[in-house]
Structure 1
């Protein structure tokens, strides 16, 4: 069954182009710069570019616009490919690189010089800023703007040969220093960078700028719809100028849509890199990071992210989306699909004094309350159990629905029990609760008609397994942590990670596969850590709570 096109202004453009014969096939591309891990904003761009191609029977390229080797690495390239595949998309043909077009781009630069439309400039960075002008004042022509074609060709060839130092010369397009669009004020096309490139090695010492390479990459690949986020709108006239003035055989058209901005989130690559470099988080894939790799390790699913992208839609303007929408999407997904299990994060021992010491009873529990196809699991029931310490009180009012001395509670999928007494340590803290079972109450209310107050989770003390459980929360406690020039690090949430090293889990959970998700009943949704979980040392990450607690008390 072919995907149904989602109605939005980009789909309307594509439908009209196909209907009027402007294009016969839709060809899009996703063109990240390999200078960091992709984040949730890129997930929207992936969904838009690949999704539109998929829905219209077309294809989408994955191209790395790798024009700045100083900030790029093979690690980022590999992580981006993994992210795209994990989200469920496949690019057309081989992975493409702007660096594969370096010779063609250089040849076209020579062509512009020959046409008198590009020149070598000697202004340093500070001088160039001064000559460029401001938003309210026009720029001034560089004193090198009128060099002859012959001199420019010679200087460009010598730049390529490595004769000049970094920053000594650049190649600029000759457009209009008085243009109200700053991007058209003789933009730089090439700069000298004597650094090895991750794809081309030391073949080049001059590199094209992103603005020059990006649009020409689209032209080389025959892209029909160059879909970008809104910040590139002012760059479109420059892309069009290059296409108009170069002997290209394909003319891509650029369309812009509003980028994804989430509250309580930072997506600037520079700031994400700072979080990593400063050790605020444990790498680009830390589960608190808004990177796709971080979300994956946190336990988000590809389906939930794609559903979120559908929920927020595609518009022509920027806006801020409430992160609660993303959290809603993952809760919906996991509620429908995650098997249930029991874990005790704050263990308190319960001894069932009437239960035989050596007896082990095997109980059966469904893996999901409404999906029989997910099967069932076995729970060993023994004399000594662990319950959560918050599920017991010596005294409580009628609103408390858990275990109280002299009161009854049901152990989920097991017996009703009644608490009789407590054992305290030397400091007076309760370390053990003694209770007894109510016979014949598995799956039934007590025969005497005294119903239990509530239902709590439990784990066998002798058969359960210890596990490390990492309780992740939002990384920032301010809805706009990077607003203005304020130090965004001062808005870090000190409770963004709490590690429980002595949690107790059902024995079967130790055998969970990495990245397998569960609902820990009454605790939230958790995932077996992608890299560190093992049967010998179980590690689970909290994906999201069962409900939003951020607005409580507001």
Structure 2
């Protein structure tokens, strides 16, 4: 497994090193805290790599902690998926799996502590009023009428919330900080709200749940996290993170450090927006190869090594940027180019008949499995009088006609020339002749094409992908659904070599001139294999 490169220019590396020098007896503990409300995506991989690799390099520990504070959107299936994805990436997580829900009692007690210190109050306003009173970047917040309630009244109201005496949205607990703060997040943020949904861990034990900003820093403290490493979107939250830990007076006070998150062109990584794509039936599911979830990328044919190498290339900085899709593709090409088998597949098949060969003619040709890696050895292909070639090797799209009576080189085989086309039952039949003395010879200015013998072919489906969005950065668009590429998926029927059909799934192939493909284990059947194109050749 490839490692994140920790060099002297990496600011997190410097922070960790300085910490170790000052605290030689303390163990580095980091954490990766996903919410189990969806599948992990490419952006998560960078965070996983940074947190797990730092802990491993410094003989520390990285906790996988599920931020399960919102039962409305969370499911056990997402928990299993996240664990499997992290293991697939190559990281061990046997004993270090935690849940925020395991700390609910302690978090609740800290909320009581804030109330008793006059630093939290129960607000009975509806959410619209709360949002309005908090103001915005141009307008300072306004103090709420419930802000003046006594400690006793707030304790009583909070207990009523816990006992289910209020409906959802009727009451919430807010931290009492500063409604005039220039930082909106510090304007009396909500730290507890009511939810009557069934929780996958605590079941129906609780009907009030802490907000992420309140539970996260406390969970970090409980687990003795030394470095809370997160993306820049949590930079403003740091102020609240510090405030909470200071006011509840805990011994362990982790420090938060931010790095730029991973962005890639022509795609969306937002779980909320991915859910919308699924709901609107723009994609099939979380593992659709057109989106950059780990399960989607894996199904498309990306390896754990290639994804980690891509995150490594993105670096650890505070500078936000959008990475090119070609950079991700190059990471996989580099890995697969010398180790996977080359084969021939016909995606737009037409049948040609070699008339100067008998029908029962059969010649075995031995060719390299990978021309760039002789250690892989050879395999055989069959040359007969009836072959499949790609339509567009002899069809001119602009002129809308077939170009014949020109010599063509069949890769690893003979030269041929199509001399006649006949129509039979709305199908074209192509007749050609082959040149016996051209085997193994190279001819200048003669087009080389791929082919498959009819006797050595098996029907297959090919799923050809293009970026899902026409926009470079659809994450920034409110109308992202209007910018979906309608040609993001084409499914074609064609042929593969018969020996491929006998192999098990989970194999990569480079089909000559067509690209890198991966067997789709979900769509494939005993009768027909389905292939997802991972990358084009060019």
TM range (shorter): over 0.9
Give the Cα separation in 2 of the matches to 1:324 and 1:444: 35
**How far did 1:3 drift?**
5.8
- Name the residue aligned to 1:117: 119
Instruction: For 2:154 and 2:390, locate their aligned partners in 1 and report how far apart those are by CA, in whole Å.
Output: 77
- Among candidates 507, 510, 513, match of residue 516 of structure 1: 507
Q: Report the counterpart of residue 552 of structure 1 in structure 2.
A: none
Report how far residue 65 of structure 1 moved: 0.5
Q: Residues 533, 277 of structure 1: CA spacing in aligned structure 2 closer, same or farther, 3 A cutoff?
A: same
Is contact 1:471-1:499 (8 Å) kept? yes
In 2, Cα distance between equivalents of 1:23 and 1:178: 42
Preserved CA contact (<8 Å) 2:382 2:453 = yes
Residue of structure 2 equivalent to 1:474: 467
Write the mapping of 1:476-495 to structure 2, written as runs, cut at 5 A: 476-485=469-478, 487-495=479-487
SS in 2 for 1:355: coil
Partner of 1:58: 60
After the TM superposition, which residues 187-226 of structure 1 pair with which residues of structure 2 at under 5 Å, given as runs?
187-226=189-228
Contact 1:418–1:436 (Cα < 8 Å) also in 2: yes
CA RMSD of aligned residues (A): 2.4
Offset, 1:463: 2.3
Q: Report the secondary structure of 1:144's partner residue.
A: helix
Aligned to 1:86: 88
Q: What pairs up with 1:134-173 in 2 under 5 angstroms? A: 134-173=136-175
Give 1:77 deviation, angstroms: 1.6
Structure 2 residue aligned with 1:506: 497
Query: By how many angstroms is 1:420 displaced?
Result: 4.8
CA distance change for structure 1 residues 122 and 451 in 2, over 3 Å: closer, same or farther? closer
Give the equivalent residue in structure 2 for 1:354: 356
Which residue does 2:433 correspond to in 1?
435
Distance in 2 between residues matched to 1:512 and 1:422, nearest whole Å: 38
* 2:404 and 2:419 in contact (8 A); partners too: no
Q: Please, which runs of 5 or more residues in structure 1 have no aligned partner?
A: 397-401, 548-554
Q: State the 1:81 CA deviation.
A: 1.6
The farther-off stretch of 144-153 and 458-467 is 144-153
Give the deviation of 1:240 after TM superposition.
0.8
Does the aligned pair in 1 maintain the 2:20–2:26 contact within 8 Å?
yes
Higher deviation after alignment, 327-336 or 285-294: 327-336
Describe the shift of the 1:2–1:35 C-alpha distance in structure 2 as closer, same or farther (beyond 3 A): closer
Q: Equivalent of 2:78, from 69, 76, 79?
A: 76
Q: CA deviation at 1:307?
A: 1.1
The answer to whether the 8 Å contact 1:380/1:460 transfers is yes
Indicate the residue corresponding to 1:405 in structure 2. 405
Please give the secondary structure, in 1, of the residue aligned with 2:145: coil
Aligned partners of 2:414 and 2:440 also within 8 Å: no
Residue matched to 1:227:
229
Alignment of 1:259-408 (within 5 A): 259-392=261-394, 404-405=404-405, 407-408=407-408
> Could you tell me how far 1:434 is from its partner in structure 2?
2.1
Q: How far 1:340 moved relative to its partner?
A: 0.7
1:537 aligns with 2:525: no
Shift in CA distance, 190/236, structure 1 to aligned 2, threshold 3 Å: same
Residue of structure 2 in register with 1:460 after alignment: 453
Kindly indicate whether residue 486 of structure 2 is the aligned counterpart of residue 497 of structure 1: no
Q: Is 1:422 aligned to residue 438 of structure 2?
A: no
CA shift, 1:435, in A, is 1.8
Measured in 2, the distance between the counterparts of 1:301 and 1:541 equals 14
Kindly report structure 1 stretches of 4+ aligned residues shifted beyond 6 Å: none
Rounded Cα–Cα distance in structure 2 between residues aligned with 1:282 and 1:32: 23
Q: 1:269 to 1:420 in 2, by over 3 A?
A: closer
- Structure 1 residues 33-42 or 232-241, which shifts more? 33-42
The 1:5–1:330 alpha-carbon spacing in structure 2 relative to 1, beyond 3 Å, is closer
Q: Is the 8 A contact 2:2 2:305 kept in 1?
A: no
Paired position in structure 2 for 1:17: 19
450-459 vs 187-196, which deviates more?
Answer: 450-459
Supply the distance in 2 between the matched residues of 1:76 and 1:408 (Cα, whole angstroms).
53
- SS where residue 71 of structure 1 aligns? coil
* Range with greater deviation from structure 2 (240-249 or 96-105): 240-249
Measured at CA, do residues 50 and 144 of structure 1 come closer, stay the same or move farther in structure 2, by a change above 3 Å? same
Q: TM-score, normalised by structure 2?
A: 0.93
SS in 1 for 2:141: coil
- Name the CA distance, whole Å, in 1 between partners of 2:157 and 2:112: 11
* Deviation of 1:48 (Å): 1.8
State whether residues 408 and 449 of structure 2, in contact with CA within 8 Å, keep that contact through their aligned partners in structure 1. no
Residue range with higher mean Cα deviation, 304-313 or 378-387 = 378-387
Does the 8 Å CA contact 1:471/1:542 hold for their aligned counterparts? yes
Report how far residue 426 of structure 1 moved: 5.0
CA distance in 2, matches of 1:163, 1:222: 35
CA distance in 1, matches of 2:290, 2:431: 37
Verify the 8 A CA contact 1:177 1:185 in the aligned structure 2: yes
- Conserved in 2, the CA contact under 8 Å of 1:3 and 1:54? no
